[in-house]
């Protein structure tokens, strides 16, 4: 049975996994590092299906990981793109209140943004809104001039190029099926029935992050429940209706952001997304169903607690998903000129949303650590914007855990050569470790 050994293995070739590998190699040139990605190409899921926004950090609770890492990552993203010739556009975003009842929530967003250090935030009235977005309507808006757009797939490929140039390996088609421990090694069995050994493991599994954590006996306190978001795109001749991005004021009674207008770096304008329960973790179509995924979702107590709380809103989202006129009506609150004929079927994405057993949707980034393993358990939006900052945080912990020791190829070969020493053979588990990075 084939065996390979590394100083560090990163499971998951999405943007967070790639950024983490890049940062680890930057800090320790020459170490043996591999990324294991189950798909034939990197960035196939959340990285390749997002709206392309470089978020500024307006929405997130001051003091949270999202707030700190989004603001830090926002700045780092622009610097990386400049250094690597990746085009972006600081087109700006307006968060629009369409009636007086939304003004207190808009003021709270302004307070949060200022507390988080978001640059250039400005509360504006209808006249200034019309200057920025001539076709939008509202009684007041929050303007974030530093919010931008980029092709995150292209950014991820640039991360991958840096990783391979630094000597890292990206192994596609390597699905991890089991994780175990053998002495000072973490052992991973793959779908190829070989074993990969690592001195240190980082998992960034996105839609499968909970399953990877459970393979190493991490606490089962979080489960991923997939939510699909469908987009429409504006007909090319109607793209002038949006100059940048037009967002709603979030409804605190609903866990997702709501339909918005997003200009893309290629010139397209996306409308959406809605948020409906997906019947497959990788189910981008309305009729995609995976029996295992559904069994896990519907047998999880947290899902039913969530459903009892949000069933009415969930039904409204389902109707809007299947009835185009309802979707368009939501868009017309902000841009009345939009018609059903202007909206063409667009792409979709699936959000990996961590759900607690009591039905609470986990809002902040969550990372669990043990002696030799770091699991990224919850990294929804703005994870792409925050990817370089998340990577730095993970690398800080990795350096503490790994110390100064480096694995030598000869030692690696001796320690993992014996038959039967494969993942799952002697699993020491993760114990009760359940800590966010930075507090470890």
- Write out the chain's pLDDT in tens, 440 residues: 557 899 999 999 999 999 999 999 999 999 999 999 999 999 999 999 999 999 999 999 999 999 999 999 999 999 999 999 999 999 999 999 999 999 999 999 999 999 999 999 999 999 999 999 999 999 999 999 999 999 999 999 999 999 999 999 999 999 999 999 999 999 999 998 899 999 999 999 999 999 999 999 888 889 999 999 999 999 999 999 999 999 999 876 666 778 899 999 999 999 999 889 999 999 999 899 999 999 999 999 999 999 998 877 788 787 878 889 999 999 999 999 999 999 999 999 999 999 999 999 898 999 999 889 999 999 999 999 999 999 999 999 888 887 644 443 333 333 334 333 434 433 443 222 223 223 33
The pLDDT of residue 403 is: 66
Pure H helices in 117-243: 126-132, 152-165, 209-215
Count Cβ atoms below 10 Å from residue 2 Cβ, excluding itself: 9
> For 3-46+153-218+365-416, CATH number?
3.50.50.60
What local confidence, expressed as pLDDT, does residue 420 receive?
38
CA distance 440 to 438: 6
How much is the pLDDT for 268? 97
- Nearest of 54, 55, 45, 39 to residue 349 by alpha carbon: 45
SS3 state at 55:
coil
* Nearest C-alpha neighbor of 48 from the set 348, 378, 364, 363: 348
**What are the start and end residues of each CATH 3.30.9 domain in the chain?**
222-244+252-356
Cα-based torsion angle of the residue sequence 286, 291, 296, 297 in order, rounded to the nearest 10 degrees? 20
pLDDT score of 317: 80
Task: State the helix-helix crossing angle for 152-165 and 65-84, rounded to 10 degrees.
Answer: 70
**DSSP assignment of 64-81:** SHHHHHHHHHHHHHHHHH
Question: Which of 165, 176, 55, 161 shows the shortest CA–CA distance to 116?
Answer: 55
Cα 338 versus chain centre, distance: 30
CATH topology of domain 222-244+252-356: D-Amino Acid Oxidase; Chain A, domain 2 (3.30.9)
Q: What would the two tokens of residue 348 be?
A: 């979709």
Looking at residue 436, its pLDDT comes to: 28
CATH 3.50.50.60-classified regions of the chain = 3-46+153-218+365-416
- pLDDT at position 311: 78
> What pTM was estimated for this model as a whole?
0.90
Cα three-residue angle 161-436-7, rounded to 5 degrees: 40
pLDDT at position 255, please? 63
State both tokens at 285. Answer: 């179509």
- C-alpha neighbours within 13 Å on the C-beta side of residue 231: 21
């Amino acid at each position: 049975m084939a065996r390979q050994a590394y100083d560090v293995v990163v499971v998951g070739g999405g943007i967070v996994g790639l950024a983490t590998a890049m940062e680890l190699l930057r800090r320790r040139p020459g170490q043996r590092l591999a990324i294991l990605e189950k798909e034939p190409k990197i960035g196939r899921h959340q990285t390749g299906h997002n709206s392309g926004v470089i978020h500024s950090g307006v929405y997130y609770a001051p003091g949270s990981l999202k707030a700190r890492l989004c603001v830090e990552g926002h700045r780092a993203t622009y610097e990386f793109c400049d250094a690597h010739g990746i085009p972006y556009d600081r087109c700006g975003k307006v968060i629009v209140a369409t009636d007086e009842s939304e003004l207190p929530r808009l003021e709270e967003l302004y307070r949060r943004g200022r507390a988080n250090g978001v640059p250039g935030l400005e509360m504006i009235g209808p006249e200034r809104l019309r200057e920025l977005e001539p076709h939008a309507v509202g009684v007041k808006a929050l303007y974030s001039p530093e919010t931008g757009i980029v092709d995150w797939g292209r950014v991820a490929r640039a991360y991958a190029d840096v990783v391979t140039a630094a000597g890292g390996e990206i192994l596609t088609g390597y699905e991890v099926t089991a994780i175990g421990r053998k002495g000072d090694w973490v052992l991973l069995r793959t779908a190829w029935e070989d074993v990969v050994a690592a001195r240190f493991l980082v998992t960034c599994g996105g839609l499968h992050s909970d399953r990877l954590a459970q393979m190493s006996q991490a606490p089962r306190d979080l489960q991923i429940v997939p939510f699909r978001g469908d987009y429409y795109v504006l007909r090319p001749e109607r793209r002038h209706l949006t100059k940048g991005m037009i967002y709603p004021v979030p409804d605190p009674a609903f866990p997702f952001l709501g339909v918005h207008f997003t200009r893309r770096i290629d010139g397209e304008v996306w409308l959406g997304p809605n948020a409906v329960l997906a019947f497959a973790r990788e189910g981008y179509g309305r009729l995609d169903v995976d029996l295992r995924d559904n069994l896990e979702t519907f047998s999880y107590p947290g899902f039913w607690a969530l459903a009892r709380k949000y069933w009415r809103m969930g039904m409204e989202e389902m109707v809007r998903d299947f009835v185009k006129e309802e979707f368009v009506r939501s868009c017309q609150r902000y841009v009345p000129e939009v018609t059903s004929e202007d909206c063409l079927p667009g792409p979709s994405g699936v959000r990996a949303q961590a759900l607690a057993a009591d039905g609470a949707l986990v809002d902040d980034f969550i990372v669990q650590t043990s002696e030799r393993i770091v699991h990224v358990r919850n990294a929804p939006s703005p994870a792409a914007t925050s990817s370089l900052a998340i990577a730095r945080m993970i690398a800080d912990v990795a350096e503490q855990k790994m110390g100064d020791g480096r694995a030598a190829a000869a030692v690696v070969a001796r320690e993992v050569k014996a038959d039967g020493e494969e993942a799952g053979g002697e699993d020491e588990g993760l114990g009760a470790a359940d800590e966010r990075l930075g507090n470890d």
